[in-house]
Amino acid sequence: MKVIFSPEAEADLESIGDYIARENPSRALSFTRLVRTTCAELAAYPRRFERLGGFRQRDVRRRVFQAYLIVYEVTETHVSIVRIIHGAMDRDVLFDDTDL
């Protein structure tokens, strides 16, 4: 199964990297690579993690990774990384089921 990143998820990852780079540029690069690797691992068992309610018939799930939530949608052909957000953020403020 293929893993793809939405433009929003790409922007999230870039923002995370920029934030970390302010204090530690080398860690920013290694951390964003680790997040990408973690996302790629979803291809093997995409339904392993918790399904989120409130998304009608969509198979939207989240994986906790360190202090972040990787929000993704599983389809028959691929895993779409929807957002990568800090766990303290309110996901309801960021998007709702009409955003997917």
Buried/exposed 21-59: b ≥16 CB within 10 Å, e otherwise: eeeeeeebeebbeebeebbeebeeebeeeeebeebeeee
pTM score of the predicted model: 0.85
How many domains, the chain? 1
Residue 100 located in a structural domain: no
Give the CATH number for residue 77.
3.30.2310.20
Q: What percent of the chain has pLDDT over 70?
A: 86
Render pLDDT for 41-89 as a digit per residue (tens, 0 to 9). 999 999 999 898 766 778 999 999 999 999 999 999 999 999 999 887 7
* Residue 32 belongs to domain spanning: 2-93
Residue 98 located in a structural domain: no
Residue 22 located in a structural domain: yes
What per-residue confidence (pLDDT) applies to 2? 95
| pLDDT at 37 > cutoff 50 | yes
